[in-house]
Structure 1
Amino acid sequence: NSFCTLLAMERARVTDKLAVRVHELLLRAAPEALPSVTDIAQHAVDEGLSDAEVINMLCEKYRVGPEGWPLDAQARKEAKIKRFIENNNVPAGVKREHLLRQCAVRSEEDMLRELYTEFKRDELGRPLDPVEFVRERLQFVLKRCAPDQLGRVHAYVADFVSRGPRAKPLDFIDEVCARFNVNRDGWPGEPRARRRARLTRFFANNNPGDLRKVDALMSIATDEAEVMAELFAIYGKDEVGDPVRATQQLRSRLSQILTTAAPERLPALSSIVSYGERRGLSDDEIVGLICQELSVGEDG
């Protein structure tokens, strides 16, 4: 009986690391699905799923291994190179075409070694230098969960350095995140707490007089992603006050192209738009890159 009890407990176990594991997997396999990390973790709790069961389900859905990359060697290489291009602002045109052609004849190790040397970042756009990685990620997290603590980033980095070369950057970042009860994206893991935190930070940075709207926006049925997208469109800024541009027209243009030329890529529409915004590209430049990649005109 005791063995059966332990087995049942293990099957129902969802650790506080599940959201982190899901986040890391989706970063590689389907970055457009990152907003669903919290919902996935909550679903695991509701259904009594173990960490392993959740990860296996995601691996089957996206046809990847536990790290988020395809299991087939050639597919994995191509996925890593494409993700590198997306996350590191690799120049369009000849440079990108050359890299994609090289996938057929060069090893993954050789290609990534060359790219790491040139860009000093990995395929997810993260600094290869562990100290710079910690500094950059902590600035990102604290801007969201505790902007009044941004002045402590230097102290946190010094703490990380003092732990020696064996210290793991992600473990250290998780440690800091735990102090503020947030995930690696800087927001709480519990869905309602996350939504309230994002709304509160949004109005505090963009229009403190509208903080009274938080309770009303917490009570409506519209999901978090839609609420935040609407606010971004109205104010032209995100939660931390960084400018965003209206994307509805761009989304419409891209949707028409993908529907005709590559319908299987429609689920990545939000990721494409976000990528262009992060790189400061105009709508025409984003559309042009997609048309070039698919070898089509804007009419598909």
Structure 2
Amino acid sequence: MRQGTRQGTGQGPTPPDRSEESPGRASRLAARDLTLAYEDRTVVDGLDLDVPDGRVTVIVGPNACGKSTTLRALGRLLRPRRGAVLLDGRELASIPTRRIARSLGLLPQAPVAPEAITVADLVARGRGPHQRWWRQWSEADEAAVADAMARTRVTDLAARPVDELSGGQRQRVWIAMALAQDTELLLLDEPTTYLDIAHQVEVLDLVRQLNHDRGRTVVMVLHDLNQAARYADHLVAMREGRIVAQGPPAETVTAELVREVFGLDSVVVPDPVTGSPLVVPGAPWQPPTESPADPTAVPVSTRKAGP
């Protein structure tokens, strides 16, 4: 697997390296020879992946490269055509659904809330995997929901219908529901989709804070390469169903990688705020420069016909 070194000009602060794992420590979530397909169309082919524990992993790549499909398989929403997803060394397919739901939370793309459901009720649904027929709602459930709402700053919205909220508020509520599920692994599929830049930063800062405060292992799919480089501990770049490169963003995001994965000429420089790689696309298209008119040329309308 190729790992690049950061290219660019100028100097900037180097962010702390949070990507190293304890020696000999196996990843709780991994994929081995993973092949995924929809009917006869293979989307992911022979993928091997180890998700670093306690870190934020971000998967990037062009449209239709298999990012979201891979995340769906990691969350057992898609059965592999070949290979396996492993959770604590066991194939997901062999683990009871309820046990998976207590270990792994998944927030899919553009989730839809039931009509007229309130914020508090939606967040409370995250406690479903912890319910039993002999043990329904408990003080532990109440505390988990209150904590999730406080961490995502949606407590004041508890009584409001979800469908009346802004895009950023709704996304925080969905993340609160995933947090209330109280899993150590959290999978987020494009959590910033349809959000403006301020709400994108708000959601990504929240994810980063949750990882730091609670030690949650997070896997996200993002479209924005610069956001991925800024927020990821471990970056995975995919193209055509395969991993092209993976590792810390500072070592992985290079102009060569951007060209190979996205087909885009660029310059990679240090982010002036974080020091993480910042991808600057090449010069935009401009109309061709017209040559000055020949001062000796005679306009066609003034030319005389004949001798």
Q: Classify the TM-score, shorter chain.
A: under 0.3
Comparing both chains, which one has the higher relative contact order based on Cα–Cα distances under 8 Å and sequence gaps of 6 or more?
Answer: 2
Return the TM-score normalized by structure 1: 0.26
Q: Which has the higher strand share?
A: 2
Larger Rg: 2
